[in-house]
Amino acid sequence: MTNAVLKRVVRRETHSPRTVATVILLVLVALAAIYVGIEIVLRLLGIGPLLVAPGAALTWLQDLPDQPPSLIIAGGLIALVAGLVLVWLALGPGRRPKHQLGSSSYAVIVDNGVIASSVAERVRRELDLAKGAVVVGVGHRSADITVRPEPGQAVDRRHARAVAESELVGYQLSPRVRVRARVLRAADGEEK
């Protein structure tokens, strides 16, 4: 495979498509167009409307400025929220919780949960901690390490961070991940 093909595969696997939102929006628009068409045909045939006659709907729109301001504001807010959601869906990154691993002639995609588990295990073993004492969360550009040592066990935050960073550097993640480490006191769960 060529490098361009691999880049495209990685992009498709690490970014979420907007297919579901697009299909839902198109179905709603199509249903609205079908409904308007049915109402117009019923009007032309002289049959009563299903919900609202086209003339009555146009009269309602014409009289809209005379409606109570609270109804107009509520309708405007609903339209604003719907518009903001659509703009966010159109412009947002839509990233999946995955990273590209390494820089080889192969495309290797790894879930963030797998990365978090392996980093937690490495930090736990390096610091000689009990199972469950290290919790790691991996996001698109950051990894958050929380260490809960047992009472009487001293853990250096910088050392925990260095271990996690060395593990992540070995994976050669794309995009790179910065590390934030916290060590909680064993007794009360407060950060040191």
pLDDT score for 186: 58
pLDDT score for 165: 93
pLDDT score for 188: 53
Average pLDDT along the chain, 192 residues, taken 10 residues at a time = 73 76 90 93 90 85 86 92 88 80 77 92 92 91 92 89 92 88 73 60
Domains and CATH numbers, the chain: 3-91 (no CATH), 98-183 (3.30.300)
Angle at Cα 168 formed by Cα 163 and Cα 173, nearest 5°? 170
pLDDT score for 138: 93
pLDDT score for 190: 62
pLDDT score for 136: 94
Whole-angstrom Cα distance, residue 190 to residue 147? Answer: 11
pLDDT score for 80: 96
pLDDT score for 100: 81
pLDDT score for 11: 74
pLDDT score for 140: 85
What SS3 string covers 150-162? CCCCCCCHHHHHH
List the one residue out of 90, 93, 137 whose CA is nearest residue 117: 137
pLDDT score for 97: 83
